[in-house]
Amino acid sequence: MRMKKKRHGSERLELLSTLVSNDPVFLCNNLKDVYGNSNPLRIEIGCGKGDFIRGKSQAEPDYNYLAIEKIADVCTVATEKYAVSRGLGELYLNGGWKKYDGTVYRYGDGAVEFTDEEKGNVRFAIGDAAKLLCEFPESSIDAIYINFCDPWSKKGYAKRRLTYITFLEMYSKILVNGGKIFFKTDNKDLFDFSLEQIEVSKFDLEYKTYDLHASDMNETNIETEYERNFSEKGFKINMLIAKNVK
Ligand SMILES: C[S@@+](CC[C@H](N)C(=O)[O-])C[C@H]1O[C@@H](n2cnc3c(N)ncnc32)[C@H](O)[C@@H]1O
C-alpha cells in the first residue's frame, strides 16, 4: 500500500500505543492480560487501514483479533480509525489525541490510557507477518485472514506470495486443528495459484468462489478498502476458505 509519510507518525503511534503490541508472541501467550479475556485469537495479515478488522471484530465479537501491518504509518492510521470507531476520541487538530471526555494528550505526553473494555477485542502489530508468525506457538490461532495481498506476479517471485506452500505450512503449524484460512483477492492468477498450493498442503478446501459478491457468502462478507475499490472498477472478487487438517 502506498501512503505519503505521515507527519508526526511516531508521536501519533505513541499516543495509541496501548492498542499496539510490540511483542505479538507475548500477546498470543497472554490473551487474558492483553484483552481481558481468553477468547480464541484470529489474525489478519496486511490489514491496511483496517476496514476489515473493524467490521469483523464487531460482527464476531466473541474472538480476539490481531491485525498485522508491515508499514508503520499505515498501521497508525488503522489504529486511529479503530480508536475512533470505538468512540475513544479523535486526532486533535493542533497535534495530539482528544479523548471522548475532552482530555487532550499532546505529542510526547505518553500513551493515552484506556480500560480493557474501551480497547475492545482488536490489537495491532507493526512488522512482517512472515517473520512474526513463525515465532507463534503451535496450535495457538483460530483463523487467519489474508485480504488482497501482493500477487508478486513477476517470474521468480512465487515464493513471496502469502499463499505459497511454505507459508501454508507455517499457518498449519500455528492454527488449531480445524482452524481456517480466509483468502480474498481480485487477482485470478494468484487465486488459481493459491488453489493449487492448498491442494498439496495440509489444508482442505472448504469453499471457493470466483465471484464473492454474487455468491451466498456476500451477505456476511466484510469489505476491505481494496475490495471496495476493485469491485467499483468492475473486478470480480475471488474468495476461498481452507480448513487445517493436520
Ligand atoms: C494491497 S494492501 C491490502 C490492504 C487491505 N488488506 C485491503 O484489502 O484493503 C496489502 C497490505 O498488506 C501489507 N503487507 C504486505 N505484506 C505484508 C507482510 N508480509 N506482513 C504484514 N503486512 C504486509 C502492505 O503493507 C499493505 O498495507
Q: Same structural domain for residues 5 and 123? A: yes
Q: Same structural domain for residues 80 and 199? A: no
Counting as low any pLDDT under 70, the low residues of the chain are 1-2
Nearest-angstrom CA–CA distance, 241 and 244: 10
The total of structural domains in the chain comes to 2
Nearest-angstrom CA–CA distance, 38 and 17: 21
Q: Same structural domain for residues 92 and 173? A: no
The pLDDT, as a whole number, for residue 2 is: 66
The pLDDT, as a whole number, for residue 5 is: 77
Residue 229 lies in a domain: yes
Centre of ligand 1 to C-alpha 245, Å, is: 26
The pLDDT, as a whole number, for residue 9 is: 85
Domain residue limits at 22 = 1-41+64-127
Q: Same structural domain for residues 238 and 122? A: no
Around 76, how many Cα atoms within 13 Å sit in the side-chain half-sphere? Answer: 18
Residue 46 lies in a domain: no
Q: Same structural domain for residues 97 and 153? A: no
Note whether 124 and 28 are within 8 A (CB).
no
Residue 50 lies in a domain: no
The CATH number of the domain where 240 resides is what?
3.40.50.150
Number of residues written out for the chain: 246
The pLDDT, as a whole number, for residue 93 is: 83
Among 135, 226, 232, residue to substitute to test ligand 1 (most atoms within 8 Å of Cβ):
226
Nearest-angstrom CA–CA distance, 179 and 84: 31
The pLDDT, as a whole number, for residue 12 is: 95
pLDDT, tens only, 73-98: 999 999 999 999 999 999 998 889 99
φ/ψ of 218, rounded to 5, equals: -65, -30
Does ligand 1 have an atom closer than 6 angstroms to the CB of 71?
A: yes
Structural domain ending residue among the three candidates 108, 127, 146 = 127
Does ligand 1 have an atom closer than 6 angstroms to the CB of 1?
A: yes
The pLDDT, as a whole number, for residue 136 is: 97
Pick the catalytic residue from 109, 142, 150, 204.
150
Q: Same structural domain for residues 3 and 36? A: yes
Among 21, 69, 131, 186, residue to substitute to test ligand 1 (most atoms within 8 Å of Cβ):
69
The verdict on whether 150 is a catalytic residue reads yes
Q: Same structural domain for residues 87 and 116? A: yes
Q: Same structural domain for residues 115 and 29? A: yes
Q: Same structural domain for residues 146 and 119? A: no
Does ligand 1 have an atom closer than 6 angstroms to the CB of 148?
A: yes
